[in-house]
Homo-oligomer: A and B are copies of this chain.
């Protein structure tokens, strides 16, 4: 059983639903009327559809930002298309989804490590933020983070920071997909002096972006330990009125659990926010480390998405989220890098690899979180966590064309027996070759087409000097 599975996934021997036939039937003369914007020809397509179909020597036709059809290359060779990418010998996957970031913090990457959370925040991050974060900073940090993520094959990310409107603007310009929320919190932040001002900013932000094809604006109350019960419910109210996603940090650290227990009659963080009626079915909760079985049932009841950030949780000694139990209950679980100030990069490949290994260690069971399950968390699982599984997360006809082409012939990937094994345990960000988002080519053969890499580095370098000076004053 295991053996036959091994060779099937490795050799991609089986036939797969070819939707081109249906397409040509609908459109009459197939050669003339498909009107393909972009055709990806050849390569092994790892669809991540419900049946986990893998198509050897496959082809993907793209039109108007969407996937028009998927099938065998043999059926599509010679088909007219405005543009064709030859992916022979490569592996083609759905774009990776990073479900939790604070993207401009790339500019604080590695500014301080290996400290207690409170020390790290109060001695480094808060002073650095207070003295440096403005709209120009946020734009520079966002471009840096976008370029790093695209280079690693991330096509969608979910963010909460400040000046989120500037983040949305840079993200849109770069052609990247983002679920973006202005952090609202009960103390003054660089762009909003009060929680109410933050929520008003959020409402304007949502109205502005809510019909954008790339940007999904969100409501993002920081956490139950930094936002009052009343304000949490105001945030939920805004999410309900606008149908925007509701993002929150939840049950990350032991200190949070203790704080909530003390403030709210012994309740656990998940229990508390559920009891007050915070969750709606568009909620995305980051971390969820300190949650027991009853908490997971509450998350399931409200269809809450979870952004699992294994490396950040390890580095800050927060703990290991109960991911195998979450998956068993059918929760929506994706992977996130968290901000680069704490992690210290936005490399989702390392999160996939770490997640697969971490939960084997924690449960003592090497069968837990198999390679296909771990890879699913970074693609269709991430889409589910963001409540966007109808649009992204797999390569299927009708979905948005967020597609990544990966080299699979580097030394560390040689030889290849099983494509999922390699995607989880050996593929690196540097193996990503070409990135398509919403049908547009964003990186081609490792060259960024919408972001100016040298300019981004120059800006970051100038900020580095400024940030060091600001901290030494």
Q: Which residues of A contact B (CB under 8 A)?
A: 2-3, 6-7, 10-11, 106-107, 109-117, 120, 123, 144, 147-148, 151-152, 254, 311, 313-317, 319-320, 343-347, 350, 353-354, 356-358, 360-361, 363-371, 409, 411-418, 421-422, 425-426, 428-430, 453, 456-457, 460-461, 463-464, 468, 471-472
Given the known inter-chain contacts A344-B426, A425-B343, please indicate yes or no for A366 contacting B472, CB distance below 8 A: no
Contacts of A6 in B (CB 8 A): 111-112
Query: Are A360's CB and B115's CB within 8 A?
Result: no
- Closest B residue to A419 using CB positions: B110
Contacts of A370 in B (CB 8 A): 113-114
Alpha-carbon distance between A366 and B312 when the two chains are bound, in angstroms? 11
Query: Are B2's CB and A123's CB within 8 A?
Result: yes
Contacts of A151 in B (CB 8 A): 411-412
Alpha-carbon distance between A461 and B353 when the two chains are bound, in angstroms? 24
Query: Are B371's CB and A114's CB within 8 A?
Result: yes
Q: Which of B2, B360, B365, B429 contacts A412 (CB 8 A)?
A: B429
* Contacts A347-B412, A350-B350 supplied; 4 other A-B pairs, CB < 8 Å: A106-B414, A113-B421, A315-B360, A430-B430
Given the known inter-chain contacts A353-B350, A360-B317, A414-B461, please indicate yes or no for A116 contacting B426, CB distance below 8 A: no
Given the known inter-chain contacts A151-B411, A460-B415, please indicate yes or no for A110 contacting B425, CB distance below 8 A: yes
Query: Are A360's CB and B316's CB within 8 A?
Result: yes
Contacts of A254 in B (CB 8 A): 364
Contacts of A471 in B (CB 8 A): 3
Which of A356, A365, A414 has its CB near the most chain B CB atoms (within 10 A)?
Answer: A414
Q: Which of B115, B369, B456 contacts A366 (CB 8 A)?
A: B115
Query: Are B414's CB and A110's CB within 8 A?
Result: no
Q: Which of B371, B415, B426 contacts A107 (CB 8 A)?
A: B415
- Closest B residue to A472 using CB positions: B7
How many of these chains are in the complex?
2
Given the known inter-chain contacts A361-B320, A371-B114, A468-B7, please indicate yes or no for A414 contacting B109, CB distance below 8 A: yes
- Closest B residue to A418 using CB positions: B110
Contacts of A472 in B (CB 8 A): 3, 7
Alpha-carbon distance between A340 and B147 when the two chains are bound, in angstroms? 31
For residue A196, give the distance in angstroms from its CB to the closest CB of chain B. Answer: 34
Query: Are B317's CB and A421's CB within 8 A?
Result: no
Query: Are A113's CB and B457's CB within 8 A?
Result: no
Alpha-carbon distance between A353 and B414 when the two chains are bound, in angstroms? 23
Query: Are B112's CB and A2's CB within 8 A?
Result: yes
Query: Are B317's CB and A411's CB within 8 A?
Result: no
Alpha-carbon distance between A347 and B315 when the two chains are bound, in angstroms? 20
Query: Are A317's CB and B365's CB within 8 A?
Result: yes
Contacts of A10 in B (CB 8 A): 468
Which of A114, A409, A461 has its CB near the most chain B CB atoms (within 10 A)?
Answer: A114
For residue A418, give the distance in angstroms from its CB to the closest CB of chain B. Answer: 6
Query: Are B2's CB and A416's CB within 8 A?
Result: no
For residue A176, give the distance in angstroms from its CB to the closest CB of chain B. Answer: 14
Given the known inter-chain contacts A148-B411, A345-B425, A409-B457, please indicate yes or no for A317 contacting B361, CB distance below 8 A: yes
Query: Are B416's CB and A464's CB within 8 A?
Result: yes
Query: Are A367's CB and B314's CB within 8 A?
Result: no
Given the known inter-chain contacts A315-B360, A317-B361, please indicate yes or no for A429 contacting B426, CB distance below 8 A: no
Contacts of A113 in B (CB 8 A): 370-371, 418, 421, 425
Query: Are A314's CB and B358's CB within 8 A?
Result: yes
Given the known inter-chain contacts A411-B144, A464-B416, please indicate yes or no for A317 contacting B364, CB distance below 8 A: yes
Q: Which of B120, B148, B152, B422 contacts A110 (CB 8 A)?
A: B422
Contacts of A115 in B (CB 8 A): 2, 366-367
For residue A466, give the distance in angstroms from its CB to the closest CB of chain B. Answer: 10
For residue A375, give the distance in angstroms from its CB to the closest CB of chain B. Answer: 12
Contacts of A2 in B (CB 8 A): 112, 115, 123
Query: Are A114's CB and B367's CB within 8 A?
Result: yes
Q: Which of B116, B144, B353 contacts A367 (CB 8 A)?
A: B116
Q: List 11 A-B contacts (CB under 8 A).
A: A6-B112, A109-B426, A110-B422, A113-B425, A114-B356, A311-B357, A317-B368, A350-B350, A412-B429, A414-B456, A414-B460
